[in-house]
Amino acid sequence: MKRVIRGLDPFVLLILGALVLGLVLPISEPVLDGVGRVGDVAIFLLFLVYGMRLRTTEVLGSLRNWRLQGGILAATYLIFPALGLLISWAVAPIVGAALAAGVLYLSLLPSTVQASVAFVSVARGNVAGAISAATISNVVGMVATPLLVLWLMGSSGATGMGGIRSVLLQLLLPFVIGQVLQPWVGDWVRSHKPLTTVLDRGTVILLVFAAVASATADGVWQEVSAVMLVALLGVSGLLLTVLLLITWWGGKGLGLDVADRIALLMCGSKKSLATGLPMALVLFPAAAAATIAVPVIIFHQLQLVVCAAIARRLAAR
């Protein structure tokens, strides 16, 4: 047992600790709001540092990398929805129609941005490509996800400009500011790698805690039985495993180098909780949105734990 504990990655242990605290720690609404604001600041600082660290030539080169960008979009909006549709039909008799709809909804979401980029950075992959791809995925998702929901789920609604504005202000703006400052501070930031490492991992851990604590406060977990939870964990594990295999070996088939394959692996296998929860509230009635969000929350936590371990393993290559 001690050997198993020693073998676990400290980053994974911290994520699991944040998850447990979010489940068991009673937190008031004002404190949750404060945690959310701290998370927003951490994300802004993270992308500001990314902008200061990355050379502009690397960013422009990543935008021109059509194989990487196309691979991530294909994984996010073609492969994932196809698998989600198939699996949701298969598990509906076990978890019920509402949670099965949540599995399908999960597969239609854009890629997560901050976690994907953070894991690519930890794994020493193409961070510039990951930032470009994950941001493009979210901007496309503001239109693609509602249309896919309308087509495959028969729901209606629109996210409006609020989601796009959030992506632009919270993610792109600090990155652009960092790029402007890069010629003067880039060398210093690149020489202080622990700064980015602390921001990478600290932001992921904070987001895990905030998401689980918010779900606990809203009573979401009371609607899920033990059998349903096990089934959803199995479904999430299956989806994640298949997408990890497809993106990793698909990257090799596309002729991508290891750094780009890491970006494809991390960005193409993720789904965004930060985008998924607000969208669910807009696209579905409030009563349905809470249940539909459960698979999104479960998958989000699983992808963070699994990809944290993978990122550390790739970093040691």
140-167 per-position pLDDT tens digit: 776 788 888 888 887 544 444 454 565 5
Domain boundaries, the chain: 28-315
> How far apart are the C-alpha atoms of 140 and 164, rounded to whole Å?
9
pLDDT tens per residue, range 246-265: 999 999 999 999 999 999 99
What local confidence, expressed as pLDDT, does residue 282 receive? 65
Per-residue model confidence (pLDDT) at position 159: 47
pLDDT of 83 = 95
236 pLDDT above the threshold of 90: yes
Contacts of 228 (CB under 8 A, 6+ apart): 94, 95, 96, 99
Assign a CATH topology to domain 28-315: Na+/H+ antiporter like fold (1.20.1530)
Higher pLDDT, 16 or 76: 76
Please state, in angstroms and rounded to a whole number, the distance separating the CA atoms of residues 312 and 253: 24
Q: Which residues contact 104 (CB under 8 A, 6 or more apart)?
A: 81, 84, 85, 88, 152, 153
